Amino acid sequence: MTYKPGEGYDKGFQCRMNGGEKPAQATFNTDPYWKEYSTGWDDANTRIINEARERNACSKPKCCKKKDFIQD
């Protein structure tokens, strides 16, 4: 198997977006593939958390986004 730069990132990102756990070798390994994998997994994790925060920021969907506030 030939390693292609960016391949580790893609696989790590896809793993997290599909609900997968981060493998131990992605956390403690200094190999470039596993560094990329870890970065991709972490980026997907951040994206998932940010999207969940947006969904849960208001009890009524889109209610806060339609209002104009004086301080804005």
Categorise residue 64: left if φ over 0, alpha if ψ from -120 to 50, beta otherwise: alpha
Residue 21: its pLDDT value, please?
95
The tens digit of pLDDT for each residue in 24-64 reads 988 888 899 999 999 999 999 999 999 999 888 766 655 66
How high is the pLDDT of residue 72? 47
- Higher-scoring residue by pLDDT: 64, 11: 11
pTM metric for this prediction: 0.75
First to last CA, the chain: 54
* Beta carbons within 8 Å of 49's beta carbon, 6+ residues apart: none
Q: Output the pLDDT for position 41.
A: 97
Helices (H), 1-72: 7-17, 24-28, 32-56
Interhelix angle 32-56/7-17, rounded to 10 degrees, is 30
Residue linked to tokens 């756990």: 21
